[in-house]
């Protein structure tokens, strides 16, 4: 045995194991001087199917009043952005797709259905007199805020723009002792009596059961009415309960699958199998770091993609080890057999992986939402697996060979 090589080997093992533990477990959670420590896995964004959320595709339609143009689409996007921000969602995705579609993705919301309801409302506000004339609209609003009035009722306080103030003052002056209905999307919110002219451009909408309801409507009024008619063409909403359920189940399944691979490799390939298992741990760490670094959003199909890429990573090792066995059988020394095994095995690994990447790239460009996530993890996985197989595993095998722990090629599967 060469003790210097053995020492290096032990050092690497200790390093990788501690890196692995630190990546998944919050070891220093309680540490006061270093602050709160978050393991690597906590840095991975969870997709809406794993934490609850919603993916909506809106389609804008032409109406006699408003045609869909690039400008109205931009306006639509801005208004929806405002509404989404009001919901307090972190990192929402809002993008225009094609000429008349808008995609909205919100992750981590408690009630995805309620969110869609709020976002998709036209929010066309009108003040209508008893004789049916619209005197002021949402376009005349400057601000709208929820609050409580002197009687403790939930209300929205609205303020008009200067032009709106003038219109509202004239309308109230002309309708003293009559009613002016406040109507949102053809639904009467409140129908108060005008006691006296209101010249200061302020009004109050009453009739909300909860402050939350008032908050939602105030948000809609502030962000303004949608410029065109909008329908929901596609909606995938996942409740937080299902998200948590999916996450727990796939973690469990992943663990069982990985352990099965590790045991199989160890039993079938012995010492190289142990090295491959170790390389697989390194591979997993690299992949997780790439996910965090590239801000990959992990979805349920993404987890499946990650697990399948483990299979590919193992495959690279299997191809090379089978080659190594053959080379040993021809009577080559351990070291030259390792080199020959990698050299010859690699063309197979490379060509085979390129074809899989072709399938994954096509999937990425033509797939939607979660399926894109699957393609991304698969591509990252394949690239990382080629890297670890040719660099890590090879280097480790050489190190083990040089450490001379055993000269018996039987341990290398021959």
Q: What does the alpha-carbon distance between residue 162 and residue 175 come to, in Å, rounded to a whole number?
A: 20
Phi-psi region of 227 (alpha: psi -120 to 50; beta: other; left: phi over 0): alpha
Q: How far is the CB of 377 from another protein (least distance, A)?
A: 11
Q: How far is the CB of 201 from another protein (least distance, A)?
A: 34
Nearer to another protein, 58 or 160 (CB): 58
What torsion do the CA atoms of 277, 279, 280, 283 make, to the nearest 10 degrees? Answer: 170
Nearer to another protein, 371 or 399 (CB): 371
Nearer to another protein, 144 or 314 (CB): 314
What does the block give as tokens for 324?
A: 């190594």
Residues with Cβ within 8 Å of residue 242, at least 6 apart in sequence: 52
Q: What does the alpha-carbon distance between residue 44 and residue 288 come to, in Å, rounded to a whole number?
A: 8
Residue 376 DSSP label: H
According to DSSP, the β-strands at 229-238 and 187-190 are: unpaired
Nearer to another protein, 34 or 209 (CB): 209
Q: How far is the CB of 341 from another protein (least distance, A)?
A: 12
What torsion do the CA atoms of 282, 287, 288, 290 make, to the nearest 10 degrees? Answer: 130
Nearer to another protein, 144 or 261 (CB): 261
Q: What does the alpha-carbon distance between residue 195 and residue 221 come to, in Å, rounded to a whole number?
A: 25
Nearer to another protein, 91 or 251 (CB): 251
DSSP per-residue string spanning 173-231: HHTTTSBEEEEETTEEEE--B--S---SSEEEEEEESSHHHHHHHHHHHHH---SSEEE
Q: How far is the CB of 228 from another protein (least distance, A)?
A: 17
Residues with Cβ within 8 Å of residue 395, at least 6 apart in sequence: none
Q: How far is the CB of 348 from another protein (least distance, A)?
A: 4
Q: What does the alpha-carbon distance between residue 255 and residue 304 come to, in Å, rounded to a whole number?
A: 12
Nearer to another protein, 163 or 366 (CB): 366
Chain contacts with another protein (rule: CB under 8 A): 49, 57, 59, 112-113, 116-117, 120, 231-239, 241-242, 245-246, 249-250, 252-254, 256-258, 260-261, 264-265, 268, 300-301, 304, 307-308, 310-312, 314-315, 318-319, 322, 326, 344, 347-348, 351-356, 358-360, 362-363, 366-368, 371, 374, 378
Q: How far is the CB of 144 from another protein (least distance, A)?
A: 23
In terms of DSSP H, where are the helices of 330-393? 334-366, 369-387
Q: How far is the CB of 256 from another protein (least distance, A)?
A: 4
Nearer to another protein, 25 or 259 (CB): 259
Three-class SS state of 298: strand
Of 339, 335, 311, 325, whose CA–CA distance to 404 is shortest?
Answer: 335
Q: How far is the CB of 375 from another protein (least distance, A)?
A: 8
Q: How far is the CB of 230 from another protein (least distance, A)?
A: 11
Nearer to another protein, 56 or 397 (CB): 56
């Amino acid at each position: 045995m060469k003790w210097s090589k053995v020492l290096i080997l032990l050092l690497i093992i200790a390093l990788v194991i501690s890196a692995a533990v630190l990546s998944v477990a919050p070891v220093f959670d309680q540490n006061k001087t270093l602050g709160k420590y978050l393991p690597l896995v906590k840095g991975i964004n969870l997709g809406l199917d794993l934490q609850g959320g919603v993916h909506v595709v809106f389609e804008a339609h032409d109406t006699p009043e408003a045609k869909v143009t690039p400008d109205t689409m931009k306006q639509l996007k801005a208004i929806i952005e405002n509404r989404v921000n009001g919901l307090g969602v972190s990192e929402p995705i809002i993008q225009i797709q094609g000429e008349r579609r808008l995609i909205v993705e919100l992750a981590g919301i408690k009630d995805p259905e309620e969110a869609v309801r709020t976002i998709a409302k036209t929010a066309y506000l009108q003040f209508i007199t008893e004789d049916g004339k619209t005197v002021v609209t949402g376009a005349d609003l400057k601000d709208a805020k929820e609050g409580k009035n002197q009687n403790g009722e939930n209300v929205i306080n609205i303020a008009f723009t200067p032009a709106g103030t003038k219109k509202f003052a004239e309308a109230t002056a002309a309708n003293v002792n009559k009613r002016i209905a406040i109507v949102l999307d053809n639904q009467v919110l409140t129908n108060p009596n005008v006691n006296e002219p209101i010249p200061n451009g302020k009004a109050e909408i009453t009739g909300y059961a909860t402050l939350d309801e008032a908050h939602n409507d105030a948000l809609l009024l502030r962000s303004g009415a949608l410029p065109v008619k909008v329908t929901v063409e596609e909606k995938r909403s996942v409740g937080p309960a299902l998200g948590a359920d999916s996450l727990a189940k796939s973690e469990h399944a992943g663990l069982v699958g990985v352990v099965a691979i590790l045991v199989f490799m160890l039993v079938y390939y012995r010492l190289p199998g142990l090295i491959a298992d170790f390389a697989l741990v390194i591979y997993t760490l690299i992949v997780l770091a790439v996910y965090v670094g590239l801000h990959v959003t992990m979805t349920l199909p993404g987890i499946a993609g990650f697990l399948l890429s483990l299979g590919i990573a193992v495959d690279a090792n299997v191809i090379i080890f089978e080659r190594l066995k053959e080379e040993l059988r021809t009577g080559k020394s351990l070291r030259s057999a390792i080199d020959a095994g990698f050299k010859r095995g690699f063309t197979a690994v490379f060509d085979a992986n390129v074809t899989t990447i072709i399938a994954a790239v096509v999937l990425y460009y033509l797939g939607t939402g979660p399926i894109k996530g699957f393609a991304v993890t698969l591509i990252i996985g394949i690239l990382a697996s080629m890297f670890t197989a040719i660099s890590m595993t090879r280097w480790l095998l050489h190190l083990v060979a040089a450490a001379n722990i055993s000269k018996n090629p039987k341990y290398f599967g021959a």
